Amino acid sequence: MDSDSSSLAGRPRLRGEGDSSLLSFFLGPVQPFIASARSVRDLWSGSFLLSWLTRSAMSPVLENPGLGDDTFLMPFQPSLVWDQCLKAGGELPAAGLPNRFLALIPADPEGKMALTLAEQCKSSCRNAWKEICERVRQGFDEKMGARALTADWDRLWNSQVDTFFEIQAASLPLRICDQATLSHLLSDQEFDPKRTSCQWWGALNLMARLLEAQRAEGYVPAYRAAGHVPQKCTLLGTYEQMGPAAFDDSNVFWRELAQRSWYGTRIRPVERLSAVSLIKRFAWPAFFREELHLEPRAGYYPDTATIAAALWLAEGDFAIDPRDELENSERWSGQWLHWATLDRPSGKRNEDEQQKYDPPPTQDQGNRIRAKRQAQGPPPAYYAILVLDGDRMGSWLRGEKTAGTGPNELIPAVSEALAHFATQLAPVVAKKHSGTLIYAGGDDVLAVLPTRMALACAQELNQQFASSWNETLGQFGGDSPTISGGIAVVHYKEDLRFALGQAREAEKRAKGEGRDRLALTICRRSGEHTSVVIPWGMVGELQKWNIKFDAGASDRWLYTLRSELPTLGGGLLPWEGIEAEVRRLAGRVEDKDKRIDPDDAVHLLKVCREATSKRENEPQDRRKILGDFITLGQSASFLARGGGRDS
């Protein structure tokens, strides 16, 4: 590991077993909370809020004089990981702690420490959530003037925030985890007496069972509003919006709030938000701005139009830095880059309301945007969401991949490798590729990027994950774990919830087709969506095409090839004939500087065939292979251009 990771060195060892106890914590729901996002900062806020609450839950253990960082089995050295996350160079830090943890609590004279700490962890998490909620509510009154508009605008507030999160913690004394008990309570797969350290692994599995049982027993009834209540929240449909119940009064309330801002944080004219959605939106100005000791400028997260155009903005003789624009003019919107004229937005629908939310640029900003468009052409309209998730990590944590290795060595090592990847490697790789890192927690990564950089970023993250793992756990042998990824390329105007859903579906598709793969989904504005799954070894080949297309290579021959797909994929033509046609079409582009080399085209087709033949129980399907090949080529072209012909 490099020198910057020295703070994560010094792997802890699990302390004496005997009368020690396991302590496990869980916070949820995760995906509904994060996914209900309208903006990139909403996405960040949801992820970081969960990490903040987990860190708060850890406080009773971290602040106990006899415990501290070495008490935690997962994640590795959480206070050090947290400190690394906060070193964001004056910018909003990426979330870096997962929504659960596992700790080993040493024995105490009365044998009640673990049980007491479990309750304290839950209480600490609830108190942290309540503090954030109250700061947002007070600020919404003072800074946004909500109380002056409607005296009881928050009458549903407490019932919503009190029922949203599930906060659970459980403790398990190791003294009761004898062989007879474990054999009785666990399956043969969960507890195998023949394995090394079998009782430890059995105790860990029993701990997981105990927490799940406690979650089921401690179920909190879902929120239900009674009486005359407002309509549903536009982001989180299980909760009602705040404000008046009457439709007309509600419209007046929200339209007035949409004209106000709090350190640059706003409500869109079409939004009607619940308490939980308001807390996500305004957690930055109300709470994190002061707690993280950051300047208001640090609260900026680029909008999707700015992310799509990030490289375009930085290139050429008229470079534009959105952060500088905010500091100098106190305004910036990536939407301006696509306005037909720069004194008002294009189109007729909701023009007045849109202009209230996105006022036009200053005259100087407008002039520079015009000059940039004239010099470079229109900016890219599409951006990429990248999701990565480790494969079969549970098997590693249960010791199934390393025969003969006990948890006192394996679990801290696994946790350290994941922490190193999340805190030291993922942020650097994302920034290198002009991306915005939202979350990096162990083997789980979420980032948004310019389309041109998406493949390279995904490939390097995959390589760095393997490198971090092998450097830390190579001594234990066994196959290294792999990671699966999904990339969704979407138009900047698409609902962010849709975009995030497409990225997560892509990642699931990669896992479903064998894991250790990358799924690439292109969601064109025209409504045509394409998706293809490739092994990581093919990403480098695709990147070569991406570079070629970026340099001006034509992709028209691929459209011709697609029109011939019914004939070529019909099964009558041998592969040699198909390759000859691919070679012919690729070579028809007269300008050699603007074409994909015919040999490279045939090589990628052969790689597609080889990848398909290696999949279990999947016959060689010519039509599918050729279709995937065409989709890959067109996707590489689309990524390089930052958008398609319909953008």
Whether residues 447 and 575 fall in one domain = no
Q: Does residue 530 form part of some domain?
A: no
Name the band, by pLDDT with cuts 50, 70 and 90, for residue 388.
Answer: very high
| Pairing between β-strand 265-266 and β-strand 261-262 as defined by DSSP bridges | antiparallel
Q: Are 500 and 627 within one domain?
A: no
Domain-located, residue 159: yes
Is the pLDDT at 355 greater than 70? The verdict is no
pLDDT of residue 7: 38
Q: What is the mean pLDDT of residues 308-312?
A: 96
Is residue 45 located within the same domain as residue 108? Answer: yes
The predicted structure's pLDDT at residue 136? 98
Tens digit of each residue's pLDDT (9 = 90 or more) over 7-62:
334 434 444 456 799 999 999 999 889 999 999 989 999 999 999 999 999 999 99
| Whole-number Å distance between alpha carbons of 193 and 178 | 11
The pLDDT of 472-491, averaged and rounded, is 86
Contact 234, 145 (CB under 8 A): no
Residue 528 maps to a domain:
no
In terms of domains, do 169 and 73 share one?
yes
pLDDT band at 225 (very low <50, low <70, confident <90, very high): confident
Are 27 and 164 in the same domain? Answer: yes
Residue at 508 is within a domain? yes
Q: How many domains would you assign to the chain?
A: 4
Q: Please give the pLDDT value at position 12.
A: 40
Instruction: Please tell me whether residues 137 and 160 are part of one structural domain.
Output: yes
Q: 194 vs 262, which has greater pLDDT?
A: 262
55 & 36 share domain = yes
Please tell me whether residues 104 and 237 are part of one structural domain: yes
Are 112 and 261 contained in the same domain?
yes
Q: What pLDDT score does 638 carry?
A: 94
Give the per-residue pLDDT at 10: 41
> What was the pLDDT predicted at 358?
66
Residue 472 pLDDT: 79
In a domain, 150, yes or no: yes
Average pLDDT over residues 580-603: 90
Res. 317 pLDDT band, cuts 50 70 90 = confident
Instruction: Tell me the residue ranges of DSSP E strands in 254-341.
Output: 261-262, 265-266
Q: Taking 60 as the threshold, does the pLDDT of residue 192 lie above it?
A: yes
The range of the structural domain enclosing residue 317 comes to 310-376
The label of the residue with tokens 């996914």 reads: 35
Together in a domain, 206 and 326: no
Task: Give domain status of residue 532, yes or no.
Answer: no
Beta strands in 462-528 (DSSP E): 483-491, 517-523
CA distance 442 to 74: 10
Bridge partners for 22 per DSSP:
104, 172
The pLDDT tens digits of the residues spanning 123-132 come to: 999 999 999 9
Is residue 155's pLDDT more than 60?
yes
Per-chain mean pLDDT for the chain: 87
Average pLDDT over residues 391-418: 76
**Residue where one domain finishes, among candidates 331, 348, 376:** 376
| Contact status, residue 19 vs residue 175, Cβ threshold 8 Å | yes
Rounded Cα distance, 296 and 427, in Å: 22
Contact indicator for 633, 562 with CB cutoff of 8 Å: no
Query: What is residue 89's predicted lDDT score, i.e. its pLDDT?
Result: 67
pLDDT tier, 644 (very low <50, low <70, confident <90, very high otherwise): very low
Query: Mean pLDDT across the stretch 481-504?
Result: 95
